[in-house]
C-alpha cells in the first residue's frame, strides 16, 4: 500500500511539473463594427488581422473625428497576451472599417511590426480608398511587405494559415478531404460579379492540429460561390468567423451550410451588420451549436441576437455627441483558445462566460 501511495505521489508531482498544453489563441476585438483580430500561436508568434477605424464618422457630414479607440483596444490585448512583436500585420482589404486604423496602430503599439500582408493595390479608385492605401504603405516603413495570392501560406510556426482568396481570385482545387458536390448550388445562380474591395478580401483558413477556423473578411456571395460551387473546395470547419459583419451581401447558405461549423462569431456593431437573413442562415446551419456576437444588435428580433451571455457588448444608450458611439461600451472582446486535438473554448471577456466545444466530425 505504501509503495502504491509513493508511486501515486510521484505521478502527481511529475504531471504537475509538466507545462500546460499550449493553445492557439484568437482575440476577436471590438472595433465598433469594424474588424480587428489578434492571433497568438503556441510558439508565441503573433498576427494582427485588420485594425478597424481611425475615428468616429459623422453620418450626416461623413467627417471623421480621429481618435485612438480601436488602436488602444488592440494594444490592450497585445499587452494582455504578452506579445513582444507583431510577426504579421494582415490587411484584408482597404475599406476604412478594416484598414484605416493601421497607421495609428503601428505608430502607437510600441513593438516591432515585422511583416505586412495585403492583396496588392486597391481595386477601387475612389479618393478614400486611395488615401487609406497610401497611408498604409507609408506606415510600413522599412518592414517587409508581402502580397499574397490564393494557395499561399502565412508562415506561422505550428499553425497553417492558408490563403483561400485574395485580389478577387480563389483557390481552384479542393483542399485535402474536400471537393464533394454541393447540393445547394443548384438552387442558386451565381450572383453578379463583385469587382470591389470586399470581393478582393484576403480569406484565411487556420489549421491547428485538428482544429479548423475560417475567416473570409468581407468576401461577398459571388466569391463564396467560386469557393463552394459546384463543389465544396474548403470542406468543413469547427469555427466560422461570420463574414462582412453579418451583412446579407455575404454568408450564403451555399457557404455556411456546407461548412457545418459548430460555432459562429460575428464582429458586428450595435447598428451595423447582423442582418436578419444572415442571422437566420447562421442559426439554421446544420450542426451549429452556438453563435457569439461582439455587439447586441439594436432593433433586431430577439431570435436574431445571440444569447446574452454570448454577447460581448450588450445594449446601451447611444450618445449623440459621439457620432453613434455607444455609451457604456467598454470594448469587451471574445477569446477563442483551441487545442491540437480540435477542442476549443470560447470566452466572453465582459462576464467571463466560457463554453468548451469538443472536436466533432460532422456527418450529414
Task: Give the Cα separation of 51 and 90 in Å (integer).
Answer: 9
> Which pLDDT value is given to residue 206?
98
Task: Give the Cα separation of 352 and 357 in Å (integer).
Answer: 16
Is there a domain that residue 350 lies in? yes
Is there a domain that residue 66 lies in? yes
The single residue listed with the C-alpha cell 511583416 is 115
Is there a domain that residue 100 lies in? yes
Q: How would you label 8-30 residue by residue, b for 16+ Cβ within 10 Å and e otherwise?
A: eeeeeeeeeeeeeeebbbbbbbb
- How many Å from the N-terminal Cα to the C-terminal Cα in the chain? 52
Q: Which helix (H) or strand (E) element contains residue 15?
A: helix 2-17
β pairing state of 334-338 and 344-348: antiparallel
Is there a domain that residue 5 lies in? no
Is there a domain that residue 80 lies in? yes
Task: Give the Cα separation of 333 and 317 in Å (integer).
Answer: 19
β pairing state of 46-51 and 239-241: unpaired
Task: Give the Cα separation of 14 and 275 in Å (integer).
Answer: 52
Q: What Rg do the C-alpha atoms of the chain give, in angstroms?
A: 21
Is there a domain that residue 364 lies in? no
Task: Give the Cα separation of 254 and 246 in Å (integer).
Answer: 15
Task: Give the Cα separation of 179 and 8 in Å (integer).
Answer: 50
Task: Give the Cα separation of 244 and 268 in Å (integer).
Answer: 8
- Sorted by sequence, the CB contacts under 8 Å of residue 302 that are 6+ apart come out as none
> Which pLDDT value is given to residue 67?
78
- Sorted by sequence, the CB contacts under 8 Å of residue 61 that are 6+ apart come out as none
Compute φ and ψ for 107, nearest 5 degrees.
-70, -25
The total number of structural domains in the chain stands at 1
Is there a domain that residue 205 lies in? yes
Cβ contact 13:63 at 8 Å: no
> Which pLDDT value is given to residue 249?
95
Task: Give the Cα separation of 301 and 34 in Å (integer).
Answer: 22
The single residue listed with the C-alpha cell 447598428 is 271
Q: Which domain holds residue 330?
A: 20-357
Task: Give the Cα separation of 252 and 228 in Å (integer).
Answer: 10
Is there a domain that residue 323 lies in? yes
Task: Give the Cα separation of 27 and 111 in Å (integer).
Answer: 18
Cβ contact 25:6 at 8 Å: no
Compute φ and ψ for 301, nearest 5 degrees.
-65, 150
DSSP 304: G
CATH code, 260: 3.60.15.10
> Across 217-303, where does the E strand assignment appear?
239-241, 263-266, 290-295
The per-residue pLDDT string of the chain (364 residues; one tens digit each, 9 = 90 and over) reads: 334 333 443 333 333 343 445 999 999 999 988 999 999 999 999 999 999 998 766 555 556 677 788 999 999 999 999 999 999 999 999 999 999 999 999 999 999 999 999 999 999 999 999 999 999 999 999 899 999 999 999 999 999 999 999 999 999 999 999 999 999 998 777 677 888 999 999 999 999 999 999 999 999 999 999 999 999 999 999 999 999 999 999 999 999 999 999 999 999 998 899 999 999 999 999 999 999 999 999 888 888 899 999 999 987 655 555 555 444 568 999 999 999 999 999 999 999 999 999 998 765 4
pTM greater than 0.85 (yes/no): yes
Cβ contact 47:29 at 8 Å: no
Amino acid at each position: 500500500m505504501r509503495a502504491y501511495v509513493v508511486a501515486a505521489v510521484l505521478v502527481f508531482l511529475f504531471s504537475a511539473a509538466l507545462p500546460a498544453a499550449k493553445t492557439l489563441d484568437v482575440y476577436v476585438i471590438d472595433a465598433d463594427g469594424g474588424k480587428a483580430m489578434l492571433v497568438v500561436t503556441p510558439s508565441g508568434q503573433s498576427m494582427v488581422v485588420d485594425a478597424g477605424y481611425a475615428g468616429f464618422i459623422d453620418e450626416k457630414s461623413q467627417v471623421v473625428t480621429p481618435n485612438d479607440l480601436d488602436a488602444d483596444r488592440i494594444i490592450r490585448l497585445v499587452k494582455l497576451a504578452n506579445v513582444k512583436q507583431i510577426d504579421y500585420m494582415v490587411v484584408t482589404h482597404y475599406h476604412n472599417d478594416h484598414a484605416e486604423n493601421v497607421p495609428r496602430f503601428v505608430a502607437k503599439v510600441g513593438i516591432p511590426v515585422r511583416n505586412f500582408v495585403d492583396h496588392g493595390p486597391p481595386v477601387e479608385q475612389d479618393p478614400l480608398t486611395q488615401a487609406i492605401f497610401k497611408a498604409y504603405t507609408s506606415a510600413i516603413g522599412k518592414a517587409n511587405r508581402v502580397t499574397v495570392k490564393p494557395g499561399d501560406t502565412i508562415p506561422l510556426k505550428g499553425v497553417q494559415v492558408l490563403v483561400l482568396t485574395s485580389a478577387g481570385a480563389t483557390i481552384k482545387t479542393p483542399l485535402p478531404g474536400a471537393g464533394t458536390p454541393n447540393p445547394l448550388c443548384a438552387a442558386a445562380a451565381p450572383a453578379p460579379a463583385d469587382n470591389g474591395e470586399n470581393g478582393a478580401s484576403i480569406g484565411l483558413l487556420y489549421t491547428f492540429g485538428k482544429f479548423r477556423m475560417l475567416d473570409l473578411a468581407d468576401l461577398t456571395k459571388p466569391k463564396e460561390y467560386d469557393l463552394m460551387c459546384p463543389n465544396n473546395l474548403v470542406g468543413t470547419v469547427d469555427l466560422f468567423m461570420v463574414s462582412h459583419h453579418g451583412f446579407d451581401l455575404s454568408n450564403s447558405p451555399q457557404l455556411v451550410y456546407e461548412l457545418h461549423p459548430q460555432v459562429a462569431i460575428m464582429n458586428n456593431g450595435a447598428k451595423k451588420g447582423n442582418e436578419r437573413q444572415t442571422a437566420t442562415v447562421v442559426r439554421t446551419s446544420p450542426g451549429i451549436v452556438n453563435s457569439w456576437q461582439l455587439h447586441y444588435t439594436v432593433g433586431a428580433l430577439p431570435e436574431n441576437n445571440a444569447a446574452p451571455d454570448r454577447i460581448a457588448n450588450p445594449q446601451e444608450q447611444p450618445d449623440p455627441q459621439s457620432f453613434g458611439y455607444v455609451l457604456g461600451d467598454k470594448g469587451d472582446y471574445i477569446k477563442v483558445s483551441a487545442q491540437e486535438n480540435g477542442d476549443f473554448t470560447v470566452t466572453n471577456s465582459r462576464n467571463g462566460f466560457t463554453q468548451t466545444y469538443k472536436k466533432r466530425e460532422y456527418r450529414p
